[in-house]
Chain A
Amino acid sequence: MNHLYVLAALIPVAFVLGWWASRQIGVRRSGAEVSELSSDYFRGLNYLLNEEQDKAIEVFLKLAEYNRDTVETHLALGNLFRRRGEVDRAIRLHQHLVSRPGLTDAMKTVALLELGEDYMRAGLLDRAEALFSDLVAMDAHAPSALRHLIAIYQHERDWHKAIEHARRLEVMTGEDEAPMIAQFYCELADRSRQHGARAEARDYLRQAFECQPDCVRAFMLTGRLLSEDGQHAEAVTAYEAAINADIAFTPDILPPLLNSYARSQQMERAEGFLRDMLGRYHGVSPVLALTHLYRQRDGERAAVDFLTAQLRLRPSVRGLMALIDATMDKIEGEARENFLILRDLTRKLLEGQAMYRCSRCGFGAKAHHWQCPSCKNWSTIRPIHGVASE
């Protein structure tokens, strides 16, 4: 009888073995499916990296149809559409994603954020604004949504709302947005100044200083307001403070400062300040200003001597041009012709130069902008220092 016990023990053992063997076969088959999917994925990725975006989109579309977890793929696809400028397709895709049932809240808000970016890209700023405001109200991805909102208000030049949202962003992230808010107040102040509301402009400037006590732009605007009001001595103080706050802006500040020195008849103070600047600033602007000052006070000879001595220390095309202009009168004959050619050459050299460059994105400009037109950062555009420019 005991072989019956052996039989009874054998059946469960065989059962387990059969079950295990069947599972192994199943795993191998679904493994083949997974590897097919991931090979599709890598193919799509490869197309993407090779800038063959049409083919990449085809592959990802196919992938999105077969894969159950398509949300990530949809998001990547929507991004791709937007990047390609096919904003209407991106919008349709993200709208579909948002309306899809059974999506987790986290995924839905990501899709909403993307949809808002689509709207911004398509120029539908009012829709984007409504969407981002909703996201902020829901407290979902609020920092990103706030940043987008601030960008929208900057674009619409609605500085009050920009300030309000920048302050909320500050509270939310703990990051210091004060320099940006100070710029918004400066925009407000400049607008008030242009409309003749001088008291209002002064009030905005006071708030700008509260945000950022060493805001160059606020100092410059203060100087401008004061000199327009005829208070040139006070304007001199403001302009000097502007240079002390950020010496890189000297080429922009010096012309109005020199004007205010002249109007308030403080040429002694001007010489002292410019002499002091020579030590800490390596551009040519203060040299040219001092040359002008010496020409008026001590005559041509002293001015040219000073200029040549300084040009040896800091060679610069602008300085050279000033030197050529100064010595032009004394030269006659053939040498004069050569000097004329040289002067034209230096003038051409300076004409093609970008005088300002964004320190973030490298955008080059001939005029100064407080907000970079390319990367939209504030006060990143600065005068270029080099032989040909400053």
Chain B
Amino acid sequence: MRPLAIVILVIFVAAGLVLGALNADLVDYDLAFARMQLPKGAALLGAMVIGWLLGGLTAWVGVSMRQRRQRRQLRADQKSPLAP
């Protein structure tokens, strides 16, 4: 990993710790199927992580499905007479 990326990562972790410490008060959440009490900072972080993972998963599924389709077509095309 490049040094710049490490620096940015450290800054974000520090910011997360500071925000978590500043917003440590518990809040009630009603998610329709469950009720829970979470610190404000943890809820913020959790929302970020879940959104990020969902986005990444969607993109990955899309790409891998397209590749599988291409590979199948390629196999159908390849009955090569090229062997000497």
Contact = CB atoms under 8 A, between A and B. Distances in A.
B55 A20 contact: yes
Contacts of A23: 59, 63
A14 B55 contact: yes
Contacts, number: 83
Interface string B46-76: 0111111111111110010000001001100
A20 B63 CA distance: 12
Contacts of B82: 61, 64-65, 77, 93
Interface string A4-27: 001100111111111111110010
A68 B70 contact: yes
Nearest to A13: B51
B41 to A, nearest CB: 10
Contact of A15 (B52, B78, B80): B52
B55 A22 contact: yes
Contact of B50 (A14, A64, A77): A14
B3 interface: no
A102 B80 contact: no
B71 to A, nearest CB: 9
A95 B51 CA distance: 54
Nearest to B61: A22
A70 interface: yes
Contacts of A10: 44, 47-48, 51
A77 B84 CA distance: 13
A93 B81 contact: yes
Given A15-B52, A18-B56, A68-B70, A7 B47 contact: yes
A26 B60 contact: yes
Contacts of A22: 55-60, 63
A19 B54 CA distance: 8
A85 to B, nearest CB: 15
A96 interface: yes
B63 A26 contact: yes
Contacts of A14: 47-52, 55
B27 interface: yes
Given A3-B40, A64-B82, A70 B77 contact: yes
Contacts of A92: 81
Contact size range, A: 20 to 34
A108 to B, nearest CB: 15
Interface in A34-84: 61, 64-65, 68, 70, 77
A96 B51 CA distance: 51
Contacts of A64: 80, 82
Nearest to B51: A14
Interface in A275-327: none
Nearest to A70: B77
Nearest to A23: B59
A23 B64 CA distance: 11
B27 A3 contact: yes
Given A3-B27, A10-B47, A18 B52 contact: yes
Interface string A92-115: 110110001010000000000000
Interface in B4-48: 27, 40, 43-44, 47-48
A157 interface: no
A68 B53 contact: no
Contacts of A127: none
Contacts of A26: 59-60, 63
B55 A89 contact: no
Contacts of B81: 92-93, 95-96
Given A15-B55, A21-B55, 8 more contacts: A3-B40, A10-B48, A11-B50, A13-B51, A19-B59, A61-B82, A68-B74, A95-B81
Interface of B: 27, 40, 43-44, 47-60, 63, 70, 73-74, 77-78, 80-82, 84
19 contacts: A10-B51, A11-B51, A15-B55, A18-B53, A18-B55, A19-B59, A21-B55, A21-B56, A22-B59, A23-B59, A26-B63, A61-B82, A64-B82, A65-B82, A68-B73, A68-B74, A68-B77, A89-B84, A102-B77
Interface of A: 3, 6-7, 10-23, 26, 61, 64-65, 68, 70, 77, 89, 92-93, 95-96, 100, 102
